[in-house]
Amino acid sequence: MGKTLILGATGNLGGLTAGHLHRSDPLTLRLATSREAGLHRLERRFPGAEAVLCDWNEEASVVEAIKGVSRVLVVTPDIVTDESVVTPNIIRAARKAGTVELLVRLLGMPPGFTLEQADPAYVAARCGAGLHVVAKPLLDTSGLPVCYVNAPAWLMFNLPSFVATDVKANRRVAMPASTDCPRMWVSEGDVAEILAQVLSGDPADHVGQEHVLTSPTRHDYSGLAGVFTEVLGEAVTYVDDDRPLREAMGGSFDQLMTYLSHETGSYAGVQHVDTLARMLGRPAETLADYITAHKEYFQ
């Protein structure tokens, strides 16, 4: 097996996936960041792996990073990514390399949802499905050996980002009511384990596949507060308050709110499939498991 390139290796999912692959073979890993500071972080965190600079807004930069690579993982960040620039650059670079046997792309969108169905404001918000409906058709028609890992759910790392501070200080899950709906929740640890499994597997088992990762249960904010109550052993209540989310998102708050106003409806019809537990060979992590494992964030 040749080298595996992770575009987005300093990120949450990219970093966790790199961790899995690094444990089995650091020497086949090429980890990319667009920042000089990211390079030093990668070298410290993943000794023995190759760390490279790559800005996916520049095609030449991706061409350089992808040279000689057989597997690629792409995880693009919300808010800042222009998929109409980034994805074509990655596609052209992968074609030029001619060595890519498997390109794995992380998605978070209702299966079958298309750009034509998406409100332009959804797409302009550049979050979640608003990003991925742009990237997916480009990859679908690229002729490259693509596999999607699609989590049309909230990743549990939203808890430390959005609600942990208020749960810890005031025993409140404080989120704006307009963004509430019964959501599926999947842990970032489970998603990363699947990404690593796919990247280290036989490309023939994954090319052309969309592995959809969902949870069997849904939780709205009151239900989430109930899980906190159960795990922490103290009453935690849901309150309609946008202040913690405003503080977490800073200048991107309005952009996220636009996204969420669409997401609350578009994810409602997503059906649960047992892909996650089947591929992991064990039950998926639940919200209660996650809160228990990360109690220091919440208590």
- Minimal distance, residue 195 CB to ligand NAP, in Å: 10
Q: Select 80 or 204, whichever has its Cβ closest to ligand NAP.
A: 80
Rounded to whole angstroms, the Cα distance separating 152 from 272 reads: 10
**5 is a site residue for ligand NAP (CB under 6 A):** no
Comparing C-alpha atoms, which of 150, 154, 174 is closest to residue 275?
150
| Residue 274 CB partners (closer than 8 Å, separation 6+) | 216
Which 179-238 residues touch ligand NAP, going by CB under 6 A? Answer: none
Binding ligand NAP (rule: CB under 6 A), the pick from 19, 20, 26, 34 is: 34
Q: Which of 25, 35, 178, 202 binds ligand NAP (CB under 6 A)?
A: 35
Give the x/- contact pattern for ligand NAP in 117-136, rule: CB under 6 A. ----------xx--x-----
Least distance between ligand NAP and beta carbon 188 (Å): 7
Cβ atoms 77, 8 nearer than 8 A: yes
Residue window 52-81: x/- pattern of binding to ligand NAP, with contact defined by CB under 6 A: --xxxx-----------------xxxx---
Separation in Å, CA 122 to CA 28, 110, 128, 130, 139: 38, 13, 9, 5, 20
Stretch that binds ligand NAP, among 8-16, 87-95, 236-244, 245-253 (CB under 6 A): 8-16
Least spacing, CB of residue 235 vs ligand NAP, in Å: 26
User: Per-residue string for binding with ligand NAP, 80-119, x by CB under 6 A?
Assistant: --------------------------x-x-----------
**Count of C-beta atoms within a 10 Å radius of residue 197:** 18
H or E, element range at 148: strand 146-150
Give the per-residue contact string, 134-163, with ligand NAP (x = CB under 6 A; - = no). Answer: -----------------x--xx--x-----
Of the residues 10, 28, 214, 215, which one makes contact with ligand NAP according to CB under 6 A: 10
Please name the residue ranges forming H helices in the chain: 12-24, 36-45, 59-66, 83-97, 120-124, 129-140, 158, 164-170, 188-200, 221-232, 243-249, 253-266, 275-280, 287-293, 295-298
* Number of residues forming the site for ligand NAP (CB under 6 A): 29
Query: What's the CA angle centered on 193, arms 48 and 17, to 5 degrees?
Result: 35
Asked if residues 45 and 65 have their Cβ atoms less than 8 Å apart, the reply is no
Interface with ligand NAP by CB under 6 A: which residues?
Answer: 7-14, 33-35, 38, 54-57, 75-78, 106, 108, 127-128, 131, 151, 154-155, 158
